[in-house]
Every structure is written in structure tokens, then in C-alpha cells.
Amino acid sequence: FMQADEKLLQQHYSDLAGRPFFNGLVKFMQSGPVVPMVWEGTNVVATGRDMIGATNPLESKPGTIRGDLCIQVGRNIVHGSDSLPSAEKEIALWFKESELCPWTLHVEPSVYE
């Protein structure tokens, strides 16, 4: 857990800076702790986004995080990078290199081609 400060959140959501909801989003994200994490694996961006669900929770499939736990698009509970370049940028923003520990699942050679 961590408490994200305004500067970090403004950097994270910089692509939304001109949108009317930007200040409210930053304020909301500062209202409590967040749990930043890095997911690693085969097709991780696509797989992660499938698990998270559509940005609008009303369009999310049942069984997804947003489909099961959200009701409003502005409070959609979770963020997931939309591409590897975005993920690399966001990881560098939220984590120090020393905080990351890459690893390979021991069954990976048996599961993936």
C-alpha cells in the first residue's frame, strides 16, 4: 500500500490533463491508499486487461474485476496499462528498479510454447 501524492498522480494521468474530470480524478485517487503492482507473463497486457474488464464497468463482463466490483466509470477501481510502452513508463513512475524482482514461473516451459 502507498499514499500517492498529487504530483505522482498528475504524471500518471498526464494524458488526461486536459479533460474536465482530471482534477476530480487526481483528488479521488489521493483520497486513500493505492496498491501499485507489476504483472509479468506471456501476453500480460492483453491478459491483464481481459481480467480487469472494460473501462466502463457497465460494459464489463461478469467475472472481471470491474464487472463484479464497479458501478461507475469514474470510479472503476483499477488501472491497467494499455500497451507495453505505457507499462514501462508507468512502472518507472511508480517503482524504483531495486523494488522489482523479475522471475519465471517454474511451470512456464510446460504451459507456454
79 is catalytic: yes
CA atoms within 13 A on the CB side of 25: 23
> Which of 36, 79, 89, 94 is labelled catalytic?
79
Cα(88)–Cα(6) distance, integer angstroms? 21
Q: Which residues are catalytic?
A: 79
